[in-house]
Structure 1
């Protein structure tokens, strides 16, 4: 037997409320509905069941045996639906107390610790898992649902319609050189002066690796890359050790006292927008709302400062 489409959970809730209070005015008050709406819902439920539930005594409704018989099943239906919604939201990560965040290695000095401390003050109940990786890796894990949100570097506004974005700050890409380099201390450098120099670079997939390629494309030549590194820390050590020059964002300057960063001439300038990305389908998740709010706070404090 097919269930009549007029039998809805909302009508079952009205029915159960009436069977509890047995008073139209109290039901109206408890549900925040008018007495007319309550009466209409009960009458519509009777019609959909094709069975009377109440007898009328003036303006009063008196439950019939059928109504008392139906209470158990209506209660079970509402409870099962409520439990199903809870389970589904939990499976989707909405009700869980664990938040999985992805971030770039280069954000672990100030930005991410600052962000996580603020988030924990907002939501002390949260357990946070932090995954570090490249732009490419983190975006894939976000798309696969293995991460709830990521903080990465973009080269402009977010163009992924499935993701919501919260910008935190901008960061300039600079020439990275060891302290003893003849270029250290200059106000600006022209990349065309580096045709004969050795360079080290990040593996593909990092935002900084993309910036490296774009800057040299503007300079009109391919740099002599003697080594590639799997992460920003290894790259900083290679530059500090004199293996070669590189192009790095300003936020990494404090990672090594043996590293100096020199601005590029405007012709080759590149900028990263450090941005929180999260699925639009989960924008109302309380955990992600708290994370986005904290990112906006960090953004206001660090709008033009490396972090």
Structure 2
């Protein structure tokens, strides 16, 4: 069996169809269909079936997709065995991160990796809903993702490497009555206008917790995911928001103040996701080691 075709089968399952898999695999939909047809002839059993206007994997297709992961891991293990005899195994490693995580980590990561020699990092910002981060591991070697405190994990299909926990603070205008205090409680925030992220993004979970604690649903007046835009709106007096502590510009002259939220565990876990096969690449592990060290430095400097 062609390992490339096996990877395509896995992509069809992970992304829900031929067209989406083709985009991830940089193939045409026709090429994806041809690979699936070839695999099906080789195994002698149907691997896909019609589902509305698309296709889905049959039980046999799911079984082969599971086995395909083992094949991919074995191939990367073999490559890693050879890399062990190279003084400084190199190559290109692709890294994605959500926007504020990219701001926090990518500049330092690029500097650290440049000092290694032999490894090239290609970066992208991918700010997606929480349930879409795992799918990014088909496109990138390392995916910097975030999820709320106490939120569900990422599942068994990916390797998860914890990096750090970042508190989420309540941002208010610097001339707001609450700005004079050192922190705020959920009851202090009832009836205030909120600038929130879109539904499905990790920060939104804290607002759900505020509803539970106060019995009053926060009054959301704007939904904006770009935290720098949110900073500007808060500073101009257009609402309050939850913002990440490490990257929010809340110093003198910023027009806003960050206040820790009492009685609610308000934070997000920043983690790296990667496919088990890509985790075997020595170059990927070298970059991951630098990312872990960088995150440890960030956590130590902000504690």
Compute the TM-score of the two structures, normalised by the length of structure 1.
0.62
Q: Which runs of 5+ in 1 are unaligned?
A: 1-84, 90-94
- Residues 280 and 214 (structure 1), Cα distance of their counterparts in 2 relative to 1, 3 Å cut: farther
Two-structure CA RMSD over aligned residues (Å): 2.9
Q: Provide the C-alpha distance between the structure 1 equivalents of 2:261 and 2:294, rounded to a whole number of angstroms.
A: 27
The answer to whether 1:147 aligns with 2:140 is: yes
Structure-2 residue corresponding to 1:193: 188
Range moving further from structure 2, 283-292 or 250-259: 250-259
**Offset of residue 132 of structure 1:** 3.0
Aligned-partner Cα distance in 1 for 2:236–2:225: 17
Counterpart of 1:43?
Answer: none
Looking at structure 1, the residues matched to 295 and 172 of structure 2 have their Cα atoms a distance apart, in angstroms, of: 29
SS in structure 2 at match of 1:280: coil
What corresponds to 1:226 in structure 2?
A: 221
| Counterparts of 1:112 and 1:158, CA distance in 2 | 24
Separation in structure 1 between the aligned mates of residue 243 and residue 167 of structure 2, nearest angstrom: 8
| In 2, Cα distance between equivalents of 1:233 and 1:195 | 24
Name the counterpart of 2:259: 262
1:201·1:246 contact (CA, 8 Å) conserved in 2? Answer: yes
Give the greater-gyration-radius structure (CA): 1
Does 2:284 correspond to 1:291?
A: no
Does residue 119 in structure 1 map to residue 116 in structure 2? no
CA drift of 1:141 comes to: 4.0
Structure 2 distance, partners of 1:130, 1:279, is 17
In structure 2, the CA distance between the partners of 1:246 and 1:287, relative to structure 1 (3 Å rule), is same
Partners of 2:160 and 2:291 in 1: CA distance:
10
3-state SS of paired residue (2:145): strand
- Decide whether aligned partners of structure 1 residues 276 and 135 sit closer, same or farther in structure 2, where only a CA change above 3 A counts: farther
Please name the residue that 1:253 is paired with. 248
Relative to structure 1, is the Cα distance of residues 158 and 196 closer, same or farther in structure 2, using a 3 angstrom cutoff? closer
Equivalent residue of 2:177, what SS?
A: coil
Task: Please list, as runs of the form range in 1=range in 2, the aligned pairs for 1:18-167 lying within 5 A after superposition.
Answer: 97-136=91-130, 139-143=133-137, 145-154=138-147, 155-156=149-150, 158-167=153-162
Cα deviation, 1:19-54, whole Å, max 9, x if unaligned, reads xxxxxxxxxxxxxxxxxxxxxxxxxxxxxxxxxxxx
Q: For 1:275, what is the secondary structure of its paired residue?
A: strand
Relative to structure 1, the CA distance from residue 169 to residue 235 in structure 2 (aligned partners, 3 Å threshold; closer, same or farther) is same
Distance (Å, rounded) in 2 between the aligned partners of 1:240 and 1:276: 32
C-alpha separation between the residues in 1 aligned to 2:296 and 2:119? 25
Gaps of 5+ in 2: 1-74, 80-88
Structure 1 match to 2:172: 177
Secondary structure of the corresponding residue to residue 210 of structure 1: helix
When normalised by structure 2's length, the TM-score is 0.62
